Amino acid sequence: MSPRAADRATYLVALLIAALFLVPLSWLLSLSVRTPQEVYLGAARYLPEDPTLENFRLVLTDRSFGLHLWNSLKICALGGAGAVAAAIPAAYAFSRFSFRGRTGLMVAVLLVQMVSPLVVLIPLYRYMDALGMLDTHLGVIGVYVALGVPLSVWVLKSSFDRVPRSLEEAAEIDGCGRAETLVRITLPLAGPGVAAAFILNTMMGWSQFLVPFILLTDTGKVPISVAIFNFAGSTSASTTQLLAAACLVAILPALALFVAVQRLIVRAVSGGAVRG
């Protein structure tokens, strides 16, 4: 295959993958600007005749919507920060120390990432119950931390790998202990990786549904994803257009964040070495 043909094939595949995500998203957009009457026309009229922003106005002025957004932000940001903090020592050890079974452990960490939270949700529920942490944000944050650690370890390890050891040795000769070197030299230089790990975790938390759905019952505490579900389940079908608008508003922060920082993430995951 010629390079140009290969390029075209790559674009084609990318387009297909994008379509897979964009079709439902555009459907959501279509629904969110309809009047209740037009909702019943379904796919027959993809472009509504009389588009309206009324649904967005209703959603955004709803007090409880703001509360749920705030819940999401709090749980996700703290969960992301916690995961990064917990992953730093492990990632540093994987990057800097050579010990027996290092590669095996790295793979094991990745395997944990593959386990769906669904599988552990029932035992998790019991743990949280035993700990008295059901229906608390702290409990959910704890689970987010645990779920975020594997990916964080990998992202952080690869960005620690890119900080030359001689910089740490120079710091050691300048009188720093290991912890001080980590805080003053390695972490600042691995900054893009730390930020990327934090943002990836926060976005994963944002899209999390099952964990808060199971662990939180107080409707005032649930994040936006669960709140929308509750809303959909508890009211008549005539709210479909409101639901669509709410969904769009809910994914907007994550989307905006991703667009803003995608360069950073790409750089952190694939970038070259730090140079001194």
Interface contacts to another protein, rule CB under 8 A:
98, 164, 166-167, 169-177, 180, 185, 188-189, 274-276
Render the burial of 124-158: b for 16+ CB within 10 Å, e for the rest.
Answer: beeebeeeebbebbebbbbbbbbbbbbbbbbbbbb
Q: Residue 163 CB, nearest distance to another protein (Å)?
A: 9
Q: Residue 94 CB, nearest distance to another protein (Å)?
A: 17
Q: Residue 102 CB, nearest distance to another protein (Å)?
A: 13
CB 121 within 8 A of CB 216: no
7 vs 169, beta carbon nearer another protein? 169
Q: Residue 273 CB, nearest distance to another protein (Å)?
A: 10
Q: Residue 103 CB, nearest distance to another protein (Å)?
A: 15
Report how far residue 208's alpha carbon sits from residue 231's, in angstroms, rounded to the nearest whole number: 17
93 vs 255, beta carbon nearer another protein? 93
Residue 25 CB neighbours (<10 A): 14
129 vs 169, beta carbon nearer another protein? 169
CB 150 within 8 A of CB 200: no
CA nearest neighbour of 251 among 271, 276, 223: 223
189 vs 222, beta carbon nearer another protein? 189
Q: Residue 88 CB, nearest distance to another protein (Å)?
A: 17
Pull the structure tokens for residue 155: 């992202």
Taking CA atoms, 74 is separated from 68, 123, 156, in Å, by 10, 25, 23
124 vs 189, beta carbon nearer another protein? 189
CA nearest neighbour of 80 among 224, 212, 199: 199
